[in-house]
Structure 1
Amino acid sequence: MPSLEDLPGPSSVMGLLRRAGATAVNATDLLVHGGFVTDEQYSPYEVVSSHPVYKLRRYFPDEVPPGAPVMLLVHALMITGDVWDIAPDTSAVAALHGMGIDVWTIDFGAPEHEPGGLERTLTDHALAVSDAVDEVSAVTGRDVVLGGQSQGGMFCYQVAAYRRGANIDSLVTFGSPVDTRAPMGVPMSPETATTLAHAYLSSGLARRISIPGWAMRTATQMLTPIGVAKGKAQWYLNLHDRERLLPRERLRMYLDGQGWTAYAGPAFAELLEQFMVHNRMLEGGFVFRDRLVSLADIDVPILTVVGSTDLLATPPAVRGIRRAAPRAEVYELNIPIGHFGIIGGARARKVTWPTVGRWIHWRAGEGDLPEELVPANRIEEWNPGELSTVRRMIGAAADLSVGSAARAISVATGALRGAEELVRAGVDQLARLRELGDVEPGTRISLGLLLDEAAQHDPGAIVYAFGDRVIRHGEFKHRVDSIVAVMLGLGVRPGERIGVRMASRPSALSALAAISRLGATAVLLRPEGDLAREIRLGQVTRLVTDPENVPEAEAEGVSCYVLGAGSERGDLPGYVIDMEDLDPERVRVPAWYRPNPREAADLAFVLFTGTGAATRDMLITNRRWALSARGAAEAAGLTATDTVYSVTPLHHSSAILHAMAGAIASGARLALASGPDPDTFWDEVRRYGATHVSYTWTSLRAITDGPPHPGEPDHPIRVFMGSGMPPGLWRRVAERFAPARVVEVYASAEGEAILANPDGGKVGCVGRPLRGTPEVRVVDYALASEEIVTGPDGYALQSRPEAVGLLVVRGRSSSRHDAVPLRNLFDVGDVWLSTGDLFTRDADGDLWFVDRVRNVIRSVGGPVLPSVVSRALEGVPGVALATAYGVLDDDAGEVVVGAVRPLPGARLDAEAIERALRDVPRSQRPAYVQSVRIPTTAWARPQVESLRRAGIPTPRDRVTVWRLAADGRTFERLGRGAGTDP
């Protein structure tokens, strides 16, 4: 029991009563008026211009110092433009003006009160910022320092990339996330957040439902419950003291309701799709209308302000800019504050704005770089202090009801995680992939049909990208249908073989789709190939080309058409018909025409392999193409969220059967490389946000063995997919571009065998047959007699593990008319086809390509497999590429010659060669090894014909030769070549 001495005295009682009375009065004002009336004045501004999406404000227009540096501030969508001038002591515009800076702001208004405001997209707002930069620069005559808070900073990054820095001096962002897969400040993993975003987008509600301002406020406050609860508690505890509350009253009212606006449904859907699902800010490939943009294009200096306790934009999410914009100088200002406090709290007044002001003056040549700023590349993603602080805050949040709700969501969506791929790819997409594996000979299936279905399902989806432009399915379908109409007007009929001789460009893909839709067969003529021979083999009577690949002379019996001539049409020879001159609207479509009439057994494409007299045709049915499409999509893990970047030309089997087919089957974007050099490669990988890159043979060598490129660090590539990569190059690709993996896909020239190694773990392995493809076996094969080895019962013998044998595939379907089926190979009545390829099978059952039967060298010591020699030589340190071939020696008959191309700056010696060949049987060791420039074909395959024609290698300028000694083990150097770096 308290004693009398413990009871409050009269003066204390009166104090409590006065406090209670003041609290009651203030609470009444709060209930009646929503807050306290203050006499604080907003900073003066002029609305310089008004537009449908934004208004442009200039602050203190009558007090701008002559020649003042200029800053344009951009706010986030869910709050009003008044965020920069809430109250005098927290006003950004007043602080910057006081430092002699000409301050402008963009005001998007409240979309719920603007005509068409709830129909706006993110692109509308980003382009509005770009327009505002033009306006401000035109009025002031100066480049603009562009600054933005949270999503406003994201707009600044996008606009700087979109404009390639035009009229922008530098960027200043405040708590603006770039890596949306970075750890979040709530008890929910980025993967779960991505899955939920997928689910919401798939529901179709995202674009139709706008989020009201109160919901945005509530959701934001739920993500920072500790700060919100602490602030409210302090406010209520001081409710009796109006004078103490007044200085922060406008800020409180802004954050509690006045400052929040609705979020337009289309804009929110685009936010989820571009940044939560695709992470386009970091990986590239986001689209402004139909133009591709990557933050890698930013080359202006950046100051990013990081709140070390920010739970909305955690430090790793904000620091992603240094990886996304490798060309930019990035500096960081780190402040121990939360998300909104970066621009609106006491520390903003004392730290943020003085530092930003000095940055702007430094950029104007009027001072030094603020010493508080640190180059971003010197800072860890999380420093220990930041990590522990945020962990504590997340842990505390999890103990609140909000945190519990977030945990419940995370647990509930854990059930979705097992089905995440289904959500990511979409039910329709997985159904399509299943259908592609179940096609029968009479099933209607073709490239044209899949593209038609995709256009019907989502005409706004992107089908391919080229340069800095994208083409959407609806637009692409219109283009293809127009080409079909022109072809019908020219008399093309289903079943015809139409030659296509074009570079990798959008019109080439349009031509292939149109030929398929009409029901004809596309014969892909190689620009570097023997045109006359390929026309004859492909039975071509009509030829579609582009201006660069028009035949030098008219081919007898072949009608030549040009597609996509553009301004070059005036230079076309007289025997060429420009398809662009024909009006598709004036074509009378024949009554018999039905789009996409072809079935699985029909011929879709004719491809070519080999050179000169060794040129061979390869026939690809619609079924074979569909199986390849499904196989590539499944092996490489392609989904509709991915972008496949094809560095191989469309006339190559790797592009047709892997890149293009896999992209269309999975709904991924297809991007066509516009050039082979490393600069183009990395610029386009970043711009497209390429997650998968196709290759063939050594096509990745220049990128892999070249010097480091600014666009290379933190690249978005997850998978390199293709065929024929030499093991040595494979290892270097896997090491340099980790964690990306190499997925090798093998498609037999005969039959429908498709093998792949989805995990890429075994270097050089082609894995196993993909689901839905025919059975394959490796059988014993006598290299000397070129015959399958049979047992006493007359049936073929399956090869033991690690033994070289011939790969055979079950079935009658062949890509060549002259292929002879192998009957009764393992059982009475069975039918198999020889692939003509030698394989081994390891103890796990995985298959390894060894060589082609036709490549075997017939040396005097017995048959030699060139790949055994070349793969051993690739193990020599410093070797970039190796090959082997046979040469006729007058004294010793046909001998084996190995050729190596060193990496830049590498020097080779006899001891390294001896070590590499130690495990090669003596009879198969090369008689000579030369260090020489190894030519490659246009599709990056080592070309040995010119080396073979040169005969026995001899030392000469930049060519070094070693000869196998009489002991069959050591090598001796011949002569003194000028170097080993050809």
Structure 2
Amino acid sequence: MGLFSYLGREFFYLKELLRVTREVGWIKPDSETLTPDHLEDIVDRHSGLPVFITETGDISYAEYDAYANRVAHWALGQGLKPGDTVALFLTNRWEYIALWYGLSKVGVVSALVNYQLRGASLAHCLSISGASTVILEDELKDAFDSACDEIGCEMAPWYLDRTAAPEGAGDFDEAIAGQPADRPSREHRAHLRARDACLKMYTSGTTGMPKAAPLAHTRVMYYLNIFSAGCNAGPGDRMFMVLPLYHSTGGLCGVGCAISRGGALIVRKKFSASLFWDEVQRYRATLFMYVGELCRFLLSTPPNPAEDDHDIRCIIGNGLRPDIWVEFQKRFAIPRIMEFYGATEGNVGLVNLDSRPGAIGRIPPWLEWRFNVALAAFDYETEQPVRGPDGFCRKAEPGEVGEAIGRIDPNDTRFRFEGYQNKEETAKKILRDVFETGDAWFRTGDLMKRDKAGYFYFVDRVGDTFRWRSENVSTNEVAEAIGRFPGVQQANVYGVEVQGYPGRAGMAALVVAPDFDLAGLRAHIHEALPAYARPVFIRLQQETDTTGTFKFRKVDLVKQGYDPKTVKDPLWFDDDEKGYIALKPALFTAINDGTKRL
């Protein structure tokens, strides 16, 4: 890079970081300004503009606030007090945002529950929410009942969209229809401070049951503003929202891009790859949030004239893999991609401001002192950061993989870690005496590497990386390599134990196009990956199991392994001499008794 290019890049980063920092610098833990105060101020400045765009019409900022006020008065009428929790079990709809906004006006905390859960997993989330009341939709009644069967639910249910509420349940629409639309007295929340809880969100549950994470008003306001500042949003912007509103990426970061600066949110019930560009065009969207495999789903759809005639100027999200980044941006003519890294409950945040393909963010070396992020050298055997003879950890060198950790500072909004409701789970995420005695750092559980210019690149989740043939295998890097082969629509890579072998052998669960060239895939893998990283087993699925935010679930896949008696999908074994051969019971037995060597 030439001198002028270098100076131009650094000036751009300094200017953008200063601008973004100014936008959130007012958010302080001890402040009396809470999320509802911030949102009421926004409403007052944009009351006549549309805030939600729906199939049945637009909702203005004033109408949004009036609905939230009715919710607040309803909560007071129910005897709910500041600090009490109400669970929201709803699909995407504009009222979702108005509900938690209204409850926050009187200090009530909303627990945002994944509407895709059923049975034991839903019962778990409801139980740990601490809620005495749940607001839900009619179409989710069966799911709610399945959870109640598990735990003998004692929550008071209130239904939206019901002509007649079930026996013992409340009709929420009818209940708030008669409530006043004026703002409740601020006295109901006057004793609260920005460090206090506003919402409860849940971890994604990719590796086990979800954990509840209280989000302080500081964190909520930070999320609502940071990305609207990053993409320089304004009243003319329209955010196309297909991500679930119970998650921070869609429900706070994406919502904030729209409403924090007078823009509008186009709320869609769910993501549809086939309808996506038609609806983006129809509603004149200028922004959209992506996550996980959403971009790969879009890339696998047939060409659509609408994809060449849209107003999208920036997309924001995380999980856009390097293997499709350039192709995605070129095909859909996306001017700017703002990839970011963060966790709902975590204190580590990175943003890629200049759309560098594959990077999840950048911290220029000369600005490291302004951030709390470090990469700690990592031991794959113990799955812990490396400690030297002095007992302290070592920072990873440029190009070296390390675990991303964030220094905890309770006095800085950006660097706080509120933890989970479960104290033991909270303790597991804190690393102490890291670089000096007495310091404390949040463990992200994510492995990354950083180049000399300060760009960060995601490598894998701790626990997903496994050992095979005395080498470390990154599931993420293997999945990216496989994903570059034509016809691979989704690739979920993990390690499975094989009797008689140390470590774990690689296995890839794939969703592929019709008439897929399996032999061609093997040739591609053998050319793209070293021997130790090549999947030994291939599983062909009709669809992958993902979370509501398109993250792959691997726990069940790992448990099922490669046993053809357990796995009903087609299984293939990479034979050194014959290529991929069907994995039948006889071959499975031969592998496990040592007759067939890997």
> Does residue 543 in structure 1 map to residue 134 in structure 2?
yes
Residue 837 of structure 1: how far off its partner (Å): 1.3
How far apart, CA to CA, are the structure 1 residues paired with 2:212 and 2:78?
Answer: 27
CA distance in 2 between counterparts of 1:923 and 1:976 reads 20
Corresponding letter in the other structure for 1:513: Y
Give the conservation status (yes or no) of the 8 Å contact 2:72–2:184. no
Q: Describe the superposition over 1:779-828 as per-residue Cα deviations: whole angstroms up to 9, x where unpaired.
A: 10101012221344433211112211011111153232433333332234
Instruction: Rate the CA distance shift 1:918–1:604 in 2: closer, same or farther, 3 A.
Output: farther
Give the conservation status (yes or no) of the 8 Å contact 2:539–2:569: no
Distance between the aligned counterparts of 2:30 and 2:19, measured in 1?
Answer: 19
| Length-normalised TM-score, structure 1 | 0.51
Q: Which moved more, 1:595-604 or 1:467-476?
A: 595-604
Aligned position for 1:559:
156
Distance 1:581 1:476 in 2: 17
Q: Which residue of 2 aligns with 1:896?
A: 506
Aligned twin of 1:473 = 61
Instruction: Confirm whether residue 763 of structure 1 aligns to residue 358 of structure 2.
Output: yes
Compare relative contact order (CA 8 Å, sep 6+) and give the higher one, 1 or 2: 2
RMSD of aligned residue pairs (Cα, Å): 3.3
State how 1:63-74 maps to structure 2 within 5 Å: none
Aligned equivalents of 1:613, 1:678: Cα separation in 2: 28
CA contact (8 A) 2:274 2:301 kept: no
| Distance in 1 of aligned mates of 2:65 and 2:581 | 63
**What is the alpha-carbon distance in structure 1 between the residues aligned to residue 400 and residue 58 of structure 2?**
49
User: Structure 1 residues 735, 596: CA separation in 2 closer, same or farther (over 3 Å shift)?
Assistant: farther
Q: Choose 482-491 or 710-719, whichever is displaced more.
A: 710-719
Q: Deviations over 1:394-441 (max 9, x none)?
A: xxxxxxxxxxxxxxxxxxxxxxxxxxxx9xxxxxxx999835233221
User: Counterpart of 1:493?
Assistant: 81
Q: Is the 8 A contact 1:544 1:561 kept in 2?
A: yes
Q: Which residue of 2 aligns with 1:779?
A: 376
- 1:649 is aligned to 244
| Aligned residue number for residue 386 of structure 2 | 789
User: Using the alignment, how far apart are the partners of 2:124 and 2:449 within structure 1?
Assistant: 35
The answer to whether the Cα contact below 8 Å between 1:774 and 1:811 also exists between their aligned partners in 2 is: no
Distance 1:590 1:460 in 2: 21
Amino acid at match of 1:699: L
Q: Would the alpha carbon gap of residues 595 and 773 (structure 1) be closer, same or farther in structure 2, given more than 3 Å must change?
A: farther
Letter in 1 for 2:510: V
Give the match's secondary structure for 2:195: coil
Partner of 1:441: 29
For the residues of structure 1 that align with 2:395 and 2:125, how far apart are their CA atoms?
37
User: Are the structure 2 counterparts of residues 964 and 492 from structure 1 closer, same or farther at C-alpha, using a change threshold of 3 Å?
Assistant: farther
Structure 1 residues 605-754: aligned runs within 5 Å: 605-608=199-202, 609-610=204-205, 613-748=208-343, 751-754=346-349
Give the drift of 1:757.
Answer: 0.8
Query: Residues 238 and 286 of structure 2 are in contact (CA less than 8 Å); yes or no, is this contact kept in structure 1?
Result: yes
Pick from 431, 442, 449 the counterpart of residue 833 of structure 1.
442
| Conservation of the 8 A alpha-carbon contact between 1:802 and 1:841 | yes
Q: Does structure 1 conserve the Cα–Cα contact (< 8 Å) formed by 2:495 and 2:506?
A: yes
Picking from 576, 580, 585, the partner of 1:965 is 576
For the residues of structure 2 that align with 1:789 and 1:613, how far apart are their CA atoms? 26
| Structure 1 position 945, deviation (Å) | 4.1
Contact 1:859 1:895 in 2 (8 A): yes
Distance (Å, rounded) in 2 between the aligned partners of 1:645 and 1:702: 16
**TM-score normalised by structure 2 residue count:** 0.81
In 2, distance between residues paired with 1:935 and 1:544? 30
C-alpha contact 1:784 1:863 (8 A) present in aligned 2: no
- Kindly provide the CA deviation profile for residues 631-687 of structure 1, in whole angstroms up to 9, marking residues without a partner as x: 222333322321111110101221123201222223321111134224542343123
Deviation at 1:856, TM superposition (A): 3.2
Q: 2-side partners of 1:518 and 1:772: how far apart?
A: 39
Q: What is the CA–CA distance in structure 2 between the aligned matches of 1:733 and 1:923, rounded to whole Å?
A: 30
Equivalent positions of 1:51-66 (< 5 A) are none
Contact 1:963 1:972 in 2 (8 A): yes
Structure with greater Cα Rg: 1
Q: Is 1:801–1:843's contact at 8 Å kept on the other side of the alignment?
A: yes
CA distance in 1, matches of 2:258, 2:357: 25
**What is the aligned residue count?**
540
Alpha-carbon distance in structure 1 between the residues aligned to 2:76 and 2:243: 30
| Residues 807-886 of structure 1 aligned to structure 2 (within 5 Å) | 807-812=404-409, 813-814=416-417, 815-816=419-420, 817=423, 818-820=425-427, 821-857=430-466, 859=468, 861=470, 863-886=472-495
Q: 2:191 matched to 1:601?
A: no
- What is the DSSP-based 3-state SS (H/G/I as helix, E as strand, rest coil) of the residue aligned with 1:442? coil
How far apart are 1:459 and its partner, in Å? 1.0
- For 1:432 and 1:780, locate their aligned partners in 2 and report how far apart those are by CA, in whole Å: 30
Alpha-carbon distance change, 859 to 714 in structure 1, aligned in 2, over 3 angstroms:
same
- Contact 2:69-2:183 within 8 A present in 1 as well: no
Q: Please list the CA deviations of residues 279-306 of structure 1 after superposition, one character each: whole Å capped at 9, or x if unmatched.
A: xxxxxxxxxxxxxxxxxxxxxxxxxxxx
Q: Deviations over 1:86-142 (max 9, x none)?
A: xxxxxxxxxxxxxxxxxxxxxxxxxxxxxxxxxxxxxxxxxxxxxxxxxxxxxxxxx
Secondary structure in 1 matching 2:337: strand
Deviations 1:232-264, CA, capped at 9 Å, x for gaps: xxxxxxxxxxxxxxxxxxxxxxxxxxxxxxxxx
Equivalence map 1:62-461=2 (5 Å): 434=22, 436-461=24-49
Shift of 1:728: 3.1
Structure 1 residue 934 displacement after superposition: 4.1
Output the CA distance in 1 between the equivalents of 2:370 and 2:172. 39
8 Å CA contact 1:796–1:826 kept in 2: the answer is: yes
Residues 308 and 333 in structure 2, CA contact (< 8 A), matched pair in contact too: no
For 2:569 and 2:440, locate their aligned partners in 1 and report how far apart those are by CA, in whole Å. 52
Name the residue aligned to 2:167. 574
C-alpha contact 1:480 1:511 (8 A) present in aligned 2: yes
Aligned to 2:95: 507
Q: In structure 2, how many angstroms separate the alpha carbons of the residues matched to 1:754 and 1:523?
A: 23
Separation (CA, whole Å) in 1 of partners of 2:387 and 2:494:
30
Q: Which amino acid aligns with 1:703?
A: L
2:11 is matched with: none
* CA distance in structure 2 between the partners assigned to 1:861 and 1:819 by the alignment: 33
Output the CA distance in 2 between the equivalents of 1:749 and 1:623.
13
CA distance in 2, matches of 1:731, 1:931: 27
Aligned partners of 1:624 and 1:703: how far apart in 2? 31
Structure-2 change in CA distance of 1:453 and 1:940 (3 Å)? same
Distance, in Å, in 2 between the alignment partners of 1:703 and 1:495 is 42
Which ranges of structure 1 fall in alignment gaps of 5 or more residues? Answer: 1-421, 423-429, 978-982
Specify the SS of the correspondent of 2:382: coil
C-alpha distance 794-668 of structure 1, shift in aligned 2 (>3 A)? same
Query: Match of 1:711, as an amino acid?
Result: A
Contact 2:541 2:569 in 1 (8 A): yes
1:121 aligns with none
Change (3 A) 1:804 1:901: same
Alpha-carbon distance between aligned partners in 2 of 1:828 and 1:891, rounded to the nearest angstrom:
43
Q: How many angstroms does 1:885 deviate by? A: 1.2
The aligned residue for residue 105 of structure 2 is: 517
- Please state whether the residue corresponding to 2:38 is helix, strand or coil: helix
**Structure 1 pair 560–831 and aligned structure 2 pair: CA distance change class (3 A):** same
For structure 2, the residue ranges without an aligned partner over 5 or more in a row are 1-14, 410-415, 585-598
